[in-house]
Amino acid sequence: PPTPSYSTLLPFAGYLPTITTSAGVSTDIIDLQLDFSQKITLWYPANGSQDYITAYFGARELAFNFTARFDNDALYNLWRTNSNDSLTIDFMGPNIASTYNQELNISIPVISYDEMDHDTSKDNVMIKAKGKALATTTQFFSMFAQNTIASYTV
């Protein structure tokens, strides 16, 4: 019979995502989807030119849905009482230097939940949430990325 042989290479764990809301933190994320959109209208001059002159930027939308486990049902209670929340999604990668990791961080200061299901049959509460970012007088969302790319060339 064949004898299996194994590589000494250890598996790379990938990026560890974290969802943070005002109700709690979860790293046990089953799925996560973010949809960004912005309407843009091109304005063409009346002189018959085929080229547009300027672009008018319209409404922005940011929709999300995720399935994750949390320690309690506080997130479900926010939806049940129709309360606004905040959402931060952070992807932490391998270590770059002594105190820096590769990272992508997306912060949405004000969100509203459109739909939510919860399952309390296990030790942790499984939450399926769907919602959108709300426009406020502050920022709509913010992001930062940190990586080991020294420079970009075109």
Round to the nearest angstrom and report the end-to-end CA distance of the chain: 54
Report whether pLDDT(9) > 70.
Answer: no
Q: Which residue has the tokens 């109700």?
A: 23
Residues 105-146: pLDDT tens digits? 999 999 999 999 999 888 889 999 999 999 876 778 888 888
CA dist 81 and 65 (Å) reads 19
pTM of the entire predicted model: 0.75
Report whether pLDDT(18) > 60.
Answer: yes
